[in-house]
Amino acid sequence: MKDEKNSKKGIADSDFLDFLVTTVIDITQKVAGMELVPSQEIPHGTTLDIASFSTRTNGDFRVSLAMSAHIDLLKEITRHMKGHTEVSMGDIEIYGGEYFNIIFGVFLSYVNNVLHTNTRFRVPLFSENLYPLRSLSDKRWYVRALSCPYGMMEVGLCKLSETEDCMEAQSYKIKE
């Protein structure tokens, strides 16, 4: 995939993904005490084992941002955040959504500082039973996989033009 440079600062899109991955690793360590490491593997298992959070941005830096992870990994993050052993899918949606907000808030703060822009993200969407990001046919997605003993996670961003609308997470749902 061609790695486009941001016209304002000459920063490659993959550099933004590198910072996003570093942010995911750091925030996960702080919030859940878990060490995620880069992985070359694509998450396996059924799509029923995966949930995703996604959002898009408003402002000068137009991207779709997404995170897909094994349910067991999201449950463990939620357990740490919630402070309880019992975790429901509703808990994962709430606490996982806050985890997602922290990660992407830090990421967009970085983007705004580096590019001197005013970019915000919209309310994230939560979806169960989604395909991992790497299975998307859209080649504009920059995706990295991470793993830990609880499972795999993928984070990604898709750079968009000024006139292009973002792809919603709902469009990735499995058609049964």
Q: What is the mean pLDDT of each run of 10 residues along the chain (176 residues)?
A: 52 84 96 92 65 89 89 95 92 95 94 92 84 58 88 86 51 33
Exposed/middle/buried for residue 105 (C-beta within 10 Å: 0-12, 13-18, 19+): middle
pLDDT, residue 168, reads 41
Cβ neighbours, 10 Å, residue 92: 23
Of residues 159, 122, 153, the one with CA closest to residue 138 = 159
With beta carbons less than 8 A apart as the criterion, state whether 59 and 118 touch: yes
Polymer length of the chain: 176
User: What value does the CA radius of gyration of the chain take, rounded to a whole number of Å?
Assistant: 15
User: Contact at 8 Å (CB) between 169 and 66?
Assistant: yes
Within-domain flag for 22: yes
Looking at the 3D structure of the chain, how many domains does it have?
Answer: 1
Question: According to the model, what pLDDT value does residue 1 have?
Answer: 44
**Quick one: pLDDT at residue 13?**
72
Please check whether residue 166 lies inside any domain of the structure.
no
CATH code of the domain covering residue 88? 3.40.1550.10
Is 84 among the domain residues?
A: yes
Name the residue range of residue 82's domain.
13-160
Q: What's the pLDDT score for residue 11?
A: 75
> Is residue 33 in some structural domain?
yes
Is residue 120 a part of any domain in this protein?
yes
| 4 in any annotated domain | no
The whole-number pLDDT of residue 76 equals 96
Tell me if 1 is assigned to some domain. no
pLDDT at 157: 87
Rounded to two decimals, the pTM is 0.81
β partners of residue 143: 156
